[in-house]
Amino acid sequence: MKQPARLHKIKEAPLPTNLEWFVGIGTVAVACFGLITIIGGALL
């Protein structure tokens, strides 16, 4: 009986959206950094 309540609580929590934002921004930052590194390496 406890598990369904926990599942419902997790579904309602606003944390997943914030986590998605953080992961999305992190992915974009890593992609930009990688691109700059590749361009920098090509120029050097």
pTM given for the model: 0.49
Q: How far out from the chain centre does Cα 40 lie?
A: 26
How far is residue 25 from each of residues 10, 19, 35, measured CA to CA in Å?
Answer: 23, 10, 15
What is the pLDDT at residue 36? 95
Contacts of 5 (CB under 8 A, 6+ apart): none
Phi, psi of 13 (to 5 degrees): -60, 140
Distance from C-alpha of 25 to C-alpha of 31, rounded to nearest angstrom: 10
pLDDT less than 70: residues of the chain: 1-16
Q: Residue 13: in which H helix or E strand, if any? A: none
Q: What is the pLDDT of residues 7-19, one digit of tens each?
A: 556 566 566 677 8
